[in-house]
Amino acid sequence: MTSLLIPVFAGCVLVPGLTQEAHQLLKKQSISSTNPLPPINAPANSIQLEILFVERPASDPTVSEQLWREIDEVGAAAPGLRQLMQQNGLRIGTVGASPPPMLQALLGMSRQIEDEYSLSQCVRRKVVVQSGATTDIDVKSWLDPMEVSLNENGKTTSKTFEQLQCVLKLRPHRLQDGWVRLDFIPELHHGQEQMRHTPTDAGWELRGGKLVETCYAQKFSVTLNTGEMAVASCTNAAETNLGGNFFGQPKQLQPKQKVLVVRFAGMHKPETLP
């Protein structure tokens, strides 16, 4: 029996006996079949954010009062909210598109401070979020049971959480060209992962996850222009309050402290993705 050899060139099969027109038709079908789906358009009205984390010894001047002297805390929150957040160990502020020297040193953008603290390890990631949608920022996770104290309405209560995960739920809103408002809500995720009924924008859905306690009273918002940054950390890394659990190491003699920076990189321009 004689086998039939059919050569293949550039994805097109040349079959003996077919006319030139038939070969051209097969070639067109082969090319079109490589990408049968229409191009995907990136969602319009989306917001580009850069999320940065730095963790340093709490005694490091780049995360202490020296840093916060260069950050606008007054414009970031109303006086009443700012006082409540400080009572819960949280500290927030904003900086312009040109970060101050201490923040540049902290993020590794500058080497002006040449000492034992000058080598900074910064973790960065970029996200694109549609205006009004949410994204989670995982700030810290704890394997051991953690005590969290909350101050609300002048009353402080404490509770111990198993397998605690500290999350900031971030929802950006487009205000106008070049301006956004970022809403942050602290959440305490705890317990075993399992399927639960979870409230969403579309209603209740069955999703896998931990139990969630949402700290609505500590919700805060900042308004940013393109290139500007929101900065968040704690007042004391060794305390068991909300800020200490999110950004510090409670009850440690020499705790480390995290600083979160969220930069508004700009509006996502619609484009065709391959």
What pLDDT is recorded for position 6?
Answer: 43
pLDDT, the chain, mean: 82
What pLDDT is recorded for position 232?
Answer: 97
Percent with pLDDT over 70 in the chain: 73
Q: If you average pLDDT over residues 60-74, what whole number do you get?
A: 89
- Rounded CA gap, 50 and 72, in Å? 19
What pLDDT is recorded for position 188?
Answer: 97
Q: If you average pLDDT over residues 79-92, what whole number do you get?
A: 93
What pLDDT is recorded for position 38?
Answer: 60
- Rounded CA gap, 156 and 240, in Å? 12
- The domain of 75 spans 46-267
What pLDDT is recorded for position 89?
Answer: 96
**Which residues does residue 48 pair with via DSSP β-bridges, in sequence order?**
128, 266
Handedness of CA 68, 73, 74, 78 (dihedral sign): negative
What pLDDT is recorded for position 45?
Answer: 76
Residue 118 within any structural domain of the chain: yes
φ/ψ (deg, to 5) at 255: -75, 160
pLDDT tens for residues 153-204? 888 999 999 999 999 999 999 999 899 999 999 999 999 887 766 666 667 7
Instruction: Report the number of distinct structural domains present in the chain.
Output: 1
Residue 15 within any structural domain of the chain: no
Residue 9 within any structural domain of the chain: no
pTM: 0.77
> pLDDT: is 82 or 32 the higher one?
82
Residue 109 within any structural domain of the chain: yes
Report which listed range, 15-19, 25-29, 182-186, 250-254, is most confident: 182-186
pLDDT of 225 above 80: yes
Residue 33 within any structural domain of the chain: no
Residue 217 within any structural domain of the chain: yes
- What contacts 190, CB < 8 A, 6 or more positions away? 161, 162, 163, 164, 165, 210, 211, 213
**Which residues does residue 222 pair with via DSSP β-bridges, in sequence order?**
182
pLDDT of 54 above 80: yes
Residue 212 within any structural domain of the chain: yes
Residue 28 within any structural domain of the chain: no
Inter-CA distances, 188 with 88, 125, 243, Å: 14, 22, 12
- Rounded CA gap, 160 and 213, in Å? 12
On whether the CB atoms of residues 167 and 210 are closer than 8 A, the answer is: no
**Which residues does residue 130 pair with via DSSP β-bridges, in sequence order?**
46
Going through 131-252 in order, the beta strands assigned E by DSSP cover 135-141, 146-152, 155-161, 165-176, 179-200, 203-214, 220-225, 229-234
> Which of 39-48, 111-120, 151-160, 203-212 has the lowest average pLDDT?
111-120
- Rounded CA gap, 139 and 166, in Å? 6
What pLDDT is recorded for position 193?
Answer: 81
